[in-house]
Structure 1
Amino acid sequence: MPEESKIILNDDQSLGTIQIAPRVLEIIAGYAASEVDGVSKMYGSFANSVGELLGRSGHRRGVKLTSDNDELSIDVDVFVEYGVSVPKVAAQIQKRIKQQVTLMTDLVVTEVNVHVKGIVAPQSEQQVDPDNLFGDDAEDDGGND
């Protein structure tokens, strides 16, 4: 991994440098976003899904990080639950990500862009009657009259 992809955390380098990989910040942001009430799941690419199957963290899913000098911009793609206030949930995501990244790294987050990719409807519970698996009202005697 090239050196320029690392982000320097400490200004005082008398004891050495502290570097953090961008994927660590993506994991922090993804975890913070997924903890917000109203967020159903994070939106990710096919590569993210394959990575999860191979045992990699799913908290990077749907998070894109842009770092330019001292400015840190984070984009998150989410699915929200049906019935929630989208602007309120998005504002909570922005606040939570900024708070967690700043708390854990001392980096200044200049912007958090929330992209709502879809709404997830609640799943209805289906009751299956073990005596009537196919939902037939009439008894079928196998055609023997």
Structure 2
Amino acid sequence: MTDNITSVGGGGRPDTAVSALKGRTGPGTPAETRGRTTIADGVVAKIAGMAAREVQGVYSLGAGMARALGAVRDRVPGAGAGVTRGVKVEVGERQAAVDLEIVVEYGVSIVDVAGGVRTNVISAVERMTGLEVVEVNIAVNDVHLPDDEDAEPDEGRVR
């Protein structure tokens, strides 16, 4: 019968060993190989949402109804800022995929904005999490016009 732990240290010392079940063990092994780190989907979604909003030409994230509900939720004290509105992610052990719904400012190049968002999101997620971003899908759902304000109409047309 063979032993699951084999010595890799010099002189037959069991300081550093490799276990078939646990990976590298022992006092001489680096700390980053001892244990497992998991990153929740919500963490990656927040990073992606913040990174997308940093790009010039992005007015907001989310589509129609999500933006309307988010605007109401933003007015409720303690409800949070809705950083993940318009962001969906799938996170695996080593990879992540991101889907974004964005609204761009009128007059900007949508292709340039999408490229900037994609670059910024990939950079931020990979730098902060160590995950490989395999894709960033962007859906441009609206264009914000300069005279479009989020103000509610004073009254209806008919009095």
Q: Is structure 2 residue 113 aligned with structure 1 residue 94?
A: no
Residue 66 of structure 1, CA deviation? 1.6
Question: Which of 18, 26, 33 is the aligned partner of 2:37?
Answer: 18
RMSD, aligned α-carbons: 2.2
Partner of 2:133: 109
Amino acid at match of 2:130: D
TM-score by length of 1: 0.69
Amino acid at match of 1:66: E
The share of aligned pairs that are identical, in percent, is 35
Determine helix, strand or coil for the equivalent of 1:76: strand
Distance 2:104 2:91 in 1: 27
Amino acid at match of 1:109: V
TM-score by length of 2: 0.63
Determine helix, strand or coil for the equivalent of 1:80: strand
- C-alpha contact 2:59 2:104 (8 A) present in aligned 1: yes
Distance 1:70 1:51 in 2: 33
Amino acid at match of 1:81: E
**How many residues are treated as equivalent by the alignment?**
113
Partner of 1:74: 98
Task: Give the direction of change, closer, same or farther, for the CA distance of 1:39–1:96 in structure 2 (3 Å limit).
Answer: same
Q: Deviations over 1:16-52 (max 9, x none)?
A: 2222211011010000001100000111526645554
